[in-house]
Amino acid sequence: MTTPAVIIVGAGPAGLATGACLQQRGIRAVILEAGDAPGTTWRNLYDRLHLHTVKALSGLPGMPMPRNYPRYPSRQQVVDYLRAYAKHFDLDIRCNMPATVAQQEGTRWLVMTPQGEMRSDALVAASGIFANPSIARYPGMDAFAGRMVPAKEYRNAAPFAGQRVLVIGAGNTGAEIAVDLAEHGAQTTIAIRAGAHVVPRELLGMPIQRWAHLISAMPRGLTNAVTPIILKRSVARQARAGVPKPPGTVLDKPGVPIIGLELLRLAQEGKVHVAGAIERFTATGVQFADGRELPFDAVIVATGYRPALSYLAGVVPLDAAGFPPMDGVKAVGVANLYFVGMNYNIRGTLFNIAREAPAVADAIARMEVAAG
């Protein structure tokens, strides 16, 4: 019986979890990491970042998060955990070795890297989205004389103290950066084009993630009736803060709502100004769709992320948001290609990874049986 060699792209949570699950099944895997250590993408995220998911539901297979971690671990604690996880399982991680191109050779895979070619029987795309920010473009952007900073380069508010700063984007990244700026002396505006759902991190003393798990187990008709009731106070608070809400309920919009009420509090206190869609940039600031024009010294662009799948160009089609067609964890129409870490919802990305990684390992183990 032969053991299929597996290449995993990415040594973040998805890649590490998959490598550990394969190892537990006696299957050899090599993890290719573009950075210089496991968890590099997490290490480079902004300082303020904490998980919105509880540690009890955020651990990876075979090794829970440390008991001394707080309920919502910090960015640095996640980085420390990921590196301890890689060491615990003694995973074969090749750092500073990005996958540049992946191609099929029959049912096998050829993966090209700056250090040469590698081949495997199966390929696991575990490269996530946070390494590939989606940068929106607006008319006049190149003429803006101020500082333009992609969210992935933002670390903390210190360089922006006393400045007029616009944050573009109303996901969790944009909301948290706006809060960080406002709390540390910047005159902060956030541009919200199409509205945003905002939910508390905890509701009636229970983490919103656990509410999400409970609601997801209910019939859709019941959740449609219950959700507006349990979020009634949050919706009213959002209206008072002047943060626009998109049509429909939080269940109708894919992805993750803004979790936590800090943005609403600061908006209501007048410490974060809420603006609408951007019409165009000027040399000194921004003109908004409602006709207002405001000056800014700096702009933080937090317009979301797309899956980091450039190495699969031409191999799998991508939808408008950059996601591949998947049947669970398997690629549709492409043999022996698997995805881990592509499901982003309020149940928790790490929680989803902890269930996807064993499913991929089981599927590859079945390949081993079939090959034998």
Measured at the CA of 134, the angle between CA 156 and CA 139, to 5 degrees, comes to: 95
The mean pLDDT of the chain is 92
Domains and CATH numbers, the chain: 6-132+306-371 (3.50.50.60), 141-301 (3.50.50.60)
Backbone angles phi, psi at 327, to 5 degrees: -110, 90
CA distance 264 to 272: 9
Q: Which one-letter amino acid corresponds to residue 123?
A: L
- State residue 252's pLDDT score: 65
90-109 pLDDT tens trace: 999 999 999 999 999 988 99
**126 near 60, Cβ under 8 Å?**
no
| CA distances, 343 to each of 129, 322, 331 (Å) | 10, 13, 14
What angle do the packed helices 349-371 and 13-24 form, to 10 degrees?
40
203-262 pLDDT tens trace: 888 888 987 888 777 777 777 677 777 778 878 889 999 999 888 777 667 778 999 999
Residue 11 has pLDDT above 50, yes or no: yes
CA distance 133 to 202: 28
**108 near 121, Cβ under 8 Å?**
yes
What angle do the packed helices 232-241 and 220-230 form, to 10 degrees?
50
Mean pLDDT of all residues in 158-180: 96
In terms of DSSP H, where are the helices of the chain? 13-24, 40-43, 75-89, 172-183, 208-216, 220-230, 232-241, 262-268, 349-371
Backbone angles phi, psi at 110, to 5 degrees: -115, 120
Closest residue by Cα to residue 354 from 127, 55, 65, 60? 60
Mean pLDDT of all residues in 37-43: 95
β-sheet bridge partners, residue 338: 124, 330
Residue 347 has pLDDT above 70, yes or no: yes
CA distance 89 to 26: 12
Look at residue 224 and give its three-state secondary structure.
helix
Alpha-carbon torsion angle 254, 256, 259, 265, nearest 10: -60
CA distance 281 to 288: 9
CA distance 109 to 1: 20
Mean pLDDT of all residues in 24-46: 95
Closest residue by Cα to residue 294 from 203, 167, 179? 167
**161 near 295, Cβ under 8 Å?**
no
Residue 3 has pLDDT above 60, yes or no: no
Residue 2 has pLDDT above 60, yes or no: no
- State residue 156's pLDDT score: 97
Give counts: helices (H), strands (E), the chain. 9, 22
- State residue 231's pLDDT score: 76
- DSSP code at position 249: -
Closest residue by Cα to residue 339 from 89, 76, 104, 125? 125
